[in-house]
Amino acid sequence: MTAQIAGVPAAAVATPASTAEVADVVRGAADGELALVVRGGGTRQDWALPPQRLDLIVETSRLCGLVEHAAGDLVVVVRAGTPLRQVQEALRPAGQQLALDEPLPGATVGGTVAVNASGPRRMLYGTVRDLLIGVTVVRADGVVAKAGGKVVKNVAGYDLGKLVAGSYGTLGVITECAFRLHPLPAARRFVSVRVDGPEEAGRALSAVLGAQVVPSALEIDTDPLTVTALVEGVPAGVAQRAADLEKLLGEGTTSAETPPPGWGAYPWGPGDVGIKLTSALSRVPYLLTAAGVTAQLHDVALHVRGSAGTGVLYAGLPGDTDPGSVVGVVSDLRAATRAGAGHCVVLTAPPAIRSRVDVWGHVDGLDLMRRVKEQFDPLGILAPGRFVGGI
């Protein structure tokens, strides 16, 4: 892994192994007014904007492992550099899970929290912000701050956890996270049906949402256009709910214990354009229609996949798509998401495209976000320019 972030080289790399060592590193950077960016598994370093300046990369690879697993309280405390997969493996013998999906293999706990990444099962279990009950953060001045606690009922300090989740490392360096856990389901079934168009997809989605089947996830994929519901629980209950779904969705419905191709993965690969789309649930069919029209209008291969059960979809374009066409696609998708009370954000794109596209678009509350940044990082040394509005 080279010493660069999104193409911007760094002069040095630090690999602290504890919160105290992270504090020493950050304090030294603050004293020298050195700009730093945190790197975990490196799976999302090309997301958002490149840092405006970069002197130091703080790697979390040695900040790894479980601090505490209180199985009886369904709580785990984990160091930020721990890969999500390693956390799940450690919890499995107790029949428990951290109910976060892993769209990008190799993602770490800290990176997942920093970008507030969630997958299909957010529909039942919630997002990072819902599962995070405590956090340890090193501030821009090197001071260690802790919020929340190790019990689900403890609400003190929750706001700090919610604040740093999704802040892309611009407010502090996350070193430890406490999460609430869930039991591992004994059985699961994926029930899928091919549909002919957005209207039929909308009817299938409405039918599932209106039924008493309590899906853990409800996904849509446009290649081919498919609706898939995941049900989890005890074997007998899962079998009954899967059968109910098959009857509900009608002819052509399939059921399997294994996920369909692409389940939980982003609809793009390395070097492609990745876009996040949000919408009110009732407007998901409209958004699918708008995406299809946009793809035809600009003659591009636009692949959409995501959580129709929460209104969070992702769209991918090949990395060699004409930059001007991408600008047009993003503009049209922004109009469609605004009509559905949502947003459109370009998560990742090749440099030639990223330089032409407004990555974040309009974001409400930007002035407030800037004031928060100034309070947390007055010198502007934490991931400068990575976040919305150049924060």
* Confidence check: pLDDT of 150 > 90: no
* Confidence check: pLDDT of 262 > 90: yes
Per-residue pLDDT averaged across 153-171, rounded? 79
Place of tokens 């611009």: 170
CA-based nearest residue to 147, from 109, 168, 105, 178: 178
Place of tokens 């009886």: 72
pLDDT per position as a tens digit, 225-241 = 999 999 999 999 999 99
Q: Are 83 and 41 in contact (CB under 8 A)?
A: yes
- State the distance between the two ends of the chain, measured CA to CA, in whole angstroms: 26
pLDDT per position as a tens digit, 281-335 = 999 999 999 999 999 999 999 999 999 999 999 999 999 999 999 999 999 999 9
- Classified as helix, coil or strand, 234 is coil
Q: Are 373 and 383 in contact (CB under 8 A)?
A: no
* Confidence check: pLDDT of 359 > 80: yes
156: confidence class by pLDDT, cuts 50, 70, 90: very low
Q: For the chain, which domains are there? A: 4-60+376-390 (3.30.43), 66-183 (3.30.465.10), 187-256 (3.30.70.920), 273-349 (3.30.70.2740)
Omega of the bond leading into 224 within 30 degrees of 0 (cis): yes
Per-residue pLDDT averaged across 13-21, rounded? 98
Question: CA geometry: angle at 104 spanning 364 and 158, to 5°?
Answer: 45
Per-residue pLDDT averaged across 146-169, rounded? 75
158: confidence class by pLDDT, cuts 50, 70, 90: very low
Q: Average pLDDT, whole number, for the chain?
A: 95
